[in-house]
Structure 1
């Protein structure tokens, strides 16, 4: 027998956000506020679209699952990052890191598929409004979210391929949406169609713009610090922005929140 000393890999060293101790406390306060806002915003969106009868439509069904995926991948990374800032220990157990990465991959790639489903939903609503309720039936909606969840759970390690496939689906869907809008004869109809997709387009541009910045920037301007900044942005900031964009720019959601707030005030009085 060849006796050798084998060292088991028990933990990994994380790079951390910054090497300056004076910035640890400000970063902790900033990221804690972002994370709490993200969690509260997305949980509110999930509950609101579930209990309010006026929000029981395919668009809000997909929005509820988008909030769920935002909540999932921010929860997969946020608490550990905040704990590392507080303890000043940039290490993570190997098995914990593998579990964390698996959950993050499932949720982030599921979000790309859900954005594709939302794009298809808006395309059907614009191009064929008379058959919208038939095409986007509850069964179809459940299929469009259940299959990605199962598929990404099973194949959560194949990240690069899945991201490019999802990106292609979103690109094709919005190309069809743009073509359907441009075919409209009425300027007022085109304006209403763009207004319908405005919030979703904003979310898509922010998410894919961040990924584009990370992977397509030239080598001459590429830096490890910019990668860390971009990773923090799509891990914590984007889930918070998604809930704010879909709530603050949506009249039905704001109306539902206003009614709930009035009911709470009446109960308190």
Structure 2
């Protein structure tokens, strides 16, 4: 497992050994099973390989040790500070959309602004667990209303590919294969080369809502659940879009 992570990070044994300040010989013995590493050594190597916390626990279990990183549900009392912080961020961002997603891109929480935007999607896409990528790109979801579907789809898939490359997560790989089966969009405008960020453009009746997104994660997480959460906040890309969002909030 360590060898697979090292190869995924495109590091030689010598390079990893130098970073972790161990001998290349010892690292070779660890990878081939000739030497049994301590839990501290496993975590040391995993840290230099930027292995996600969930996978670090799997490495430890494979080495005969207990997991080092706890995993709690967001609704547990011990997670109240994290839950309260998330609620404050989502509520404060209204009337602009915001959501919390996990590593699988499943929706953990959302504010009312986001719920208003996705209310017209098919019921089967709004049944928990709601996958944000599936909801965005499925023909029964937001896809028909996205004016720049091809551009937005390319942006989302590129981000997903980078996450797969970093995590090797089997669930994300399966999701990528599913999304590849969705019809794309060929009749979208050319990308705006003057734009600072890629916008999401959604048709609302005779109007068009343009937004850009910002992603935030928790700093120095020690819990597996916390390490896999991301807060996606959307901001209006122009004054017209800001007025549209405020109008939706006002009914």
TM-score norm. by structure 2 comes to: 0.26
More strand per residue: 1 or 2? 2
* Higher RCO (C-alpha under 8 Å, 6+ residues apart): 1
